[in-house]
Amino acid sequence: MTKVQKRNFLLYSTGRLVSLIGSGVQLIALPLYILDLTGSGTLMGTFTFLSMVPGLIFSPIAGVLGDRMNRKKIMVNMDYLRGIIILFMAYSAYQGWMNIAFIFTAQVFISILDSVFGGSTGAMLPDLVPIEFLTKANSVNSSINSVSNIIGPILGGIIYGFGGIKVVFLINGISFVISAISEMFITYVPHFEGKQKISFKSMFSDIKEGLVFIRGRKGLKELFLFAMIANFIMSPIFMIVFPYVLRQEIGFTSEQYGITQSSFTLGILIGSILIGTIFYKSNPKKSMTLGLIAEAIMFFIISGLFFPNIVTKFGGASWTLLIILYINLMLIGVCNAFINIPINTNLQKMTPTKVRSRVFTVLGLISQGAIPVGSLIFGTLLDLMRGYQLTLFASIASAIVTILFLKIAPEETFNPKPVTEEV
């Protein structure tokens, strides 16, 4: 990379790290504040809903904006706007104006701004680094996501415990402003020429253009379909079934359960570092195949460990069983990095910069949108069957999907040729 490209990537990564840690701090502290203020689990659930759904709904429009406008300006402005909103929340908390309605309203706007920020920054990376550096760049990004997922919640709990919600808002708001200032120094040439007029008609036309582009690329469709089905099957296992089995069926304490929560993220961080330093030149197909097969094996091992007779042999909710589960979950995280980083890199190579934001936001909408549906179904199934049975069922279903994907997906899905022409 040139000196300018290295500086751009450093500024881009620093901005993302600060933004994501700030978001993590607030997302862990605000539900605690809502619970302390109201004692209502329903209101906590509503806050979680408002943290995700507005951004998902707005994501197709965010994709259009990312393709029609200067991505650097969007990145900077979204950080400034989020910083201003959160600093105003700090001021309102200090003045005693803070209430639930105000928090929920602010969170809707923050969720939308998060969506616009994500749609632009995700598509911007291939414009900043040379194509041969893309795998390493994505591994750094994955490491940043993992670090922020570890540090953000820890800082959020500590800051809220010692300083209250006012200090959380103040520190978070300042962090977004610092992030925006850092991003302003990125040297970026827009991916379009001239002024881009935006109307409702052009937005719908652009969204359609992104969908048509996806439909016309077989390798891209295979990646989309696999991501959607994998999220539908496995995300509810992590979000609903694992917590239920660990707490209700095995009987781990809240402290023991809390320890397990860092395992998957730590594994992703380790996998990202390995790819970024050692395996960044590896064949993407070999990396994805190895990761998918190893991940499927780990899931079968975990489903076996959940069986009552196996739990009994380990002495119930013992530390020995906890350590074995932790190692397996961490290894799944490592495998996940070896799967997702090549997938993200391939998506970036297969998608021209002109439609990249739209394509990525559609992917996010489809893959993330499958999670609530899967969660609802798996939550209902937990009332009809035991958690270990559901885990085994999901492991079998995931293995079948993996085998089909590896067998059916065309070679361009794993080793795509970089797109040089615009659509």
What is the mean pLDDT of the segment spanning 265-292? 84
Mean pLDDT of the chain: 81
DSSP codes of every residue in 144-205: HHHHHHHHHHHHHHHHHHHHHHHHHHHHHHHHHHHHHHHHTT-----SS-S-----HHHHHH
Q: pLDDT at position 407, please?
A: 85
What percent of the chain stands above pLDDT 90? 16
pLDDT tens, 162-187?
888 898 899 889 989 988 998 899 88
Domain count, the chain: 2
Query: Which of 138, 173, 198 is at the close of a domain?
Result: 198
Query: Which of 164, 198, 232 is at the close of a domain?
Result: 198
Q: pLDDT at position 302, please?
A: 92
Q: What is the DSSP letter of 237?
A: I
CATH number, position 159 = 1.20.1250.20
Q: Point out the least confidently predicted range of 204-208, 226-230, 386-390.
A: 204-208
CA distance 128 to 140: 14
Task: With respect to residue 421, please indicate whether it lies within any of the assigned structural domains.
Answer: no
Task: With respect to residue 205, please indicate whether it lies within any of the assigned structural domains.
Answer: no
> Is the domain of 90 the same as that of 233?
no
Q: Is the dihedral of CA 225, 227, 229, 230 positive or negative?
A: positive
> Is the domain of 108 the same as that of 138?
yes
CA distance 23 to 99: 20
Task: With respect to residue 207, please indicate whether it lies within any of the assigned structural domains.
Answer: no
> Is the domain of 219 the same as that of 282?
yes
> Is the domain of 188 the same as that of 306?
no
> Is the domain of 222 the same as that of 132?
no
> Is the domain of 344 the same as that of 273?
yes
If 0-12 CB within 10 Å is exposed, 13-18 middle and 19+ buried, where does residue 2 land? Answer: exposed
Task: With respect to residue 419, please indicate whether it lies within any of the assigned structural domains.
Answer: no
Residue 82 has phi, psi (to 5 degrees) of -65, -40
pTM, entire model: 0.68
> Is the domain of 163 the same as that of 221?
no
> Is the domain of 293 the same as that of 404?
yes
Identify the residue with better confidence: 253 or 311.
311
> Is the domain of 245 the same as that of 389?
yes
How many whole angstroms from its chain centre is CA 403? Answer: 25
> Is the domain of 317 the same as that of 173?
no
Identify whether the C-beta of residue 241 lies closer than 8 Å to the C-beta of residue 380: no
Task: With respect to residue 204, please indicate whether it lies within any of the assigned structural domains.
Answer: no
Residue ranges making up the domain that contains 40: 3-198
Query: Which of 169, 198, 227 is at the close of a domain?
Result: 198
What pLDDT band is residue 198 in, cutting at 50, 70 and 90? Answer: low
> Is the domain of 52 the same as that of 79?
yes
pLDDT tens, 321-376?
989 999 999 999 999 888 888 887 877 777 777 777 777 777 777 777 777 677 77
Task: Say if residue 258's pLDDT is above 80.
Answer: no
Task: Say if residue 421's pLDDT is above 60.
Answer: no
pLDDT tens, 105-139?
998 899 889 888 877 777 788 888 888 788 888 88
What is the mean pLDDT of the segment spanning 85-101? 91
Identify the residue with better confidence: 234 or 157.
234
> Is the domain of 8 the same as that of 146?
yes
